Amino acid sequence: MNELLELLLHTDEVIMRLVAENVIEAYTILFLIIYSETGLVVFPFLPGDGLLFSAGVISASTELNIVWLVPILIIAAVLGNLTNYFIGSFFGHNIERSQNRFIRKYLIQYIHQTRVFYNKYGAKSIVIGRFFPVIRTYIPFFAGLSGFKYSGFLIFTIIGSVLWVPFFTLAGYFIGENAWVKENYLLIFLGLIIVTLLPFLYNVIKLIINKIIFRKKV
């Protein structure tokens, strides 16, 4: 738990230490973090965008090779999404086959609503959602839960991953050596987290306000 907290608070320092100790282990840890953040619904808090940026910065001046790093993390992102999709699909199938009265009355209707959403916005949500923390953890799960077509999900997952990983990793690699970036690295790291979270927080607040207004009208 302490190691995880240290990674969240001092991402660049932890990666630097890992690279110095064992570069293969560093690749493995980075792979597992990206895989877990996108593949397991219990880890939406893991660093995604900031981690990619940090890895890119560090690869510019250490044994961490950007040529290997980018494809490794793209694979991690794709496999994470697929894992989450199949978990959601497993739960979706079991819920729809359930004879439990409560499940049939309340949960199945949410699956149907989710299915309508993915049929309309699935492609956009899978690709664009990759760039938003928390949201990217749950999008593949609900895609599987709703029964979104696997072939389409796979294509959009690959597209989203190929856009997401290089965007942040190469940004770190090419501008990380800049003197201003080095001096303000922590500020940039926190800024990435805040900026990517803003749309999610905006929609949460908007949803809460709409519910309050709706209740007042009722």
Per residue in 12-59, pLDDT (tens digit) is 677 888 888 888 988 998 999 999 888 888 777 777 888 898 888 888
Q: pLDDT-derived band of residue 96, with 50, 70 and 90 as boundaries?
A: low
Q: pLDDT-derived band of residue 10, with 50, 70 and 90 as boundaries?
A: low
Q: What whole-number percentage of the chain has pLDDT above 90?
A: 21
Give the Cα separation of 40 and 43 in Å (integer).
Answer: 6
Per residue in 100-141, pLDDT (tens digit) is 666 655 566 666 667 777 777 777 788 888 887 777 888 888
Q: pLDDT-derived band of residue 162, with 50, 70 and 90 as boundaries?
A: very high
The token pair that represents 40 in the structure block: 């397991």
- Give the closest residue to 153 by CA, choosing from 124, 132, 123: 123
Give the Cα separation of 110 and 196 in Å (integer).
Answer: 27
Residue partners of 197: CB distance under 8 A and separation at least 6: 132, 133, 134
Whether residue 8 has pLDDT greater than 70 = no
Q: pLDDT-derived band of residue 1, with 50, 70 and 90 as boundaries?
A: very low
Stated as kind and residue range, the H or E segment containing 107 is none
- Give the closest residue to 173 by CA, choosing from 75, 17, 73, 64: 64
Q: pLDDT-derived band of residue 161, with 50, 70 and 90 as boundaries?
A: very high
Give the Cα separation of 157 and 165 in Å (integer).
Answer: 12
The token pair that represents 182 in the structure block: 């080095």
Give the Cα separation of 82 and 180 in Å (integer).
Answer: 38
Whether residue 200 has pLDDT greater than 70 = no
Decide: residue 2, CB within 10 A, 0-12 exposed, 13-18 middle, 19+ buried. Answer: exposed
Give the Cα separation of 209 and 202 in Å (integer).
Answer: 11
Per residue in 66-75, pLDDT (tens digit) is 999 999 999 9
Choice between 182 and 13, residue whose per-residue pLDDT is larger: 13
Give the Cα separation of 153 and 155 in Å (integer).
Answer: 6
